Amino acid sequence: MTSQAGRAPGPEVDTLIIGAGLSGLVAARRLVDAGLSVRVLDKGRSVGGRLATRRMSGAVVDHGAQFFTVRGQSLADQVDDWTSRGLVTVWCRGFEGEDGHPRYIGTTGMNSLAKDLATGVDVRVPSMAVATRFDDLGHWEVTTDDGTIHRSRSLVSTAPVPQSFSLVFESVEGLPRAVFDADYDRTLGLLVVLDGPSAVAPPGGMQQPSSGVAFVADNALKGISAVPALTLHADPDWSLERWDADPSAIESELHRLAEPFIGGAGIVEAQVKRWRFATPRQPWSERCWIDESTRLVLGGDAFAGPRFEGAWESGIAAAEAVVTLCRSHR
Ligand SMILES: Cc1cc2nc3c(=O)[nH]c(=O)nc-3n(C[C@H](O)[C@H](O)[C@H](O)COP(=O)(O)OP(=O)(O)OC[C@H]3O[C@@H](n4cnc5c(N)ncnc54)[C@H](O)[C@@H]3O)c2cc1C
């Protein structure tokens, strides 16, 4: 991973990927392994997107995805690899009693899995794609916010669908209706570092424990933080109702939601986190969307399901599509 500042765009690549979340990184990894040249652009300061881990007052806090489950063989194989290297472990097998299905976590936070996938990949951060163009010679140009123009033979965008749409709609005909209509639930969250144990019982996760709350995690009980710290995610309706409210009012309401889970511990530090594109409302029926004429692929969890494994599957499908498109265009 390199900082964008001072970097020349470098030569044209086989594929540019917009978005270094799980989907874009899985696609990049697969394409590099297939021998294609790849460059990934992300507007964030680091990789991971919604696989986000923050360090606060000595605590380690996952503030996007909290855990993941595995159904397909492809992710199962990756989990075996991550587990053998100590990067992934089982948090628990259910939150309100065991149901037998492992809930996996990154042992040092979910973001570490994104960093692992990005190792050895040409990732430019922070680097926001602000315009794209499919030129007369059949190549993509992606302009980033520092004015750099990156060129490629094919383009993958795994940004949230409305952002992908605004980047490519002038170059592509026949974008499906669902792309126009795509919408996402929002999440307001509170991260709280505590001076003692929280009131959350082992294993440290509670799904919909009270009105307005989607999930509460104790990052110490989860095993990623030496210091007690909670992550609280408000539910979509609660978040939407308050999204445009005064930030201090949102913070105090989030504290009210968190009180029962903090118990008698003191608050060392608290931060509000806003996820505008938290969860796609109506995932697309295919694992990615492909435009053969321009060698464009749209992917991300809006295509294969609104969770870690959906993003994973979409990234794999996007990579397979790009390999096919690039081979037929040689
Ligand atoms: C609060 C929350 C809790 C969640 N909890 C769970 C959970 O417990 N279990 C689970 O399985 N899933 C969970 N998820 C869902 C999971 O995190 C996502 O499904 C998955 O991480 C999505 O990956 P992605 O690559 O599709 O998208 P993202 O991670 O959103 O990646 C898209 C990337 O595109 C970048 N980008 C956007 N526009 C541009 C641009 N113009 N130029 C450059 N880059 C751009 C963004 O910066 C971002 O990094 C949760 C999500 C949230 C928000």
Residue boundaries of the structural domains of the chain = 2-50+114-182+282-328, 185-280
Confidence (pTM): 0.96
How far does residue 276's CA lie from ligand 1's centre (Å)?
Answer: 10
How far does residue 246's CA lie from ligand 1's centre (Å)?
Answer: 25
Architecture field, domain 2-50+114-182+282-328: 3-Layer(bba) Sandwich (3.50)
Q: Is the CB of 204 under 6 A from ligand 1?
A: no
Residues with Cβ < 8 Å from 44, sequence gap 6 or more? 20, 125, 126
Best CA proximity match to 243, nearest among 173, 184, 313, 182: 184
Domain 185-280 class, CATH top level: alpha beta
* Angle in degrees, CA 202, 214, 105, rounded to 5: 50
Substitution site in 1, 22, 50 for ligand 1 pocket (most atoms within 8 Å of beta carbon): 50
How far does residue 210's CA lie from ligand 1's centre (Å)?
Answer: 25
CA distances for 303 relative to 46, 50, 110, 283, angstroms: 24, 16, 21, 5
How far does residue 277's CA lie from ligand 1's centre (Å)?
Answer: 8
Q: Is the CB of 312 under 6 A from ligand 1?
A: no
User: CA-based Rg of the chain, rounded to a whole angstrom?
Assistant: 20
Which helix (DSSP H) or strand (DSSP E) does residue 179 occupy?
Answer: helix 177-181
Per-residue model confidence as pLDDT tens for the chain (330 residues): 554 444 556 689 999 999 999 999 999 999 999 999 999 999 999 999 999 999 999 999 999 999 999 999 999 999 999 999 999 999 999 998 889 899 999 999 999 999 999 999 999 999 999 999 999 999 999 999 999 999 999 999 999 999 999 999 888 888 877 777 789 999 999 999 999 999 999 999 999 999 999 999 999 999 999 999 999 999 999 999 999 999 999 999 999 999 999 999 999 999 999 999 999 998 888 999 999 999 999 999 999 999 999 999 999 999 999 999 988 876
Q: Is the CB of 41 under 6 A from ligand 1?
A: yes
- Dihedral sign computed on CA atoms, order 181, 182, 185, 190: negative
Cβ atoms of residues 130 and 142 within 8 Å: no
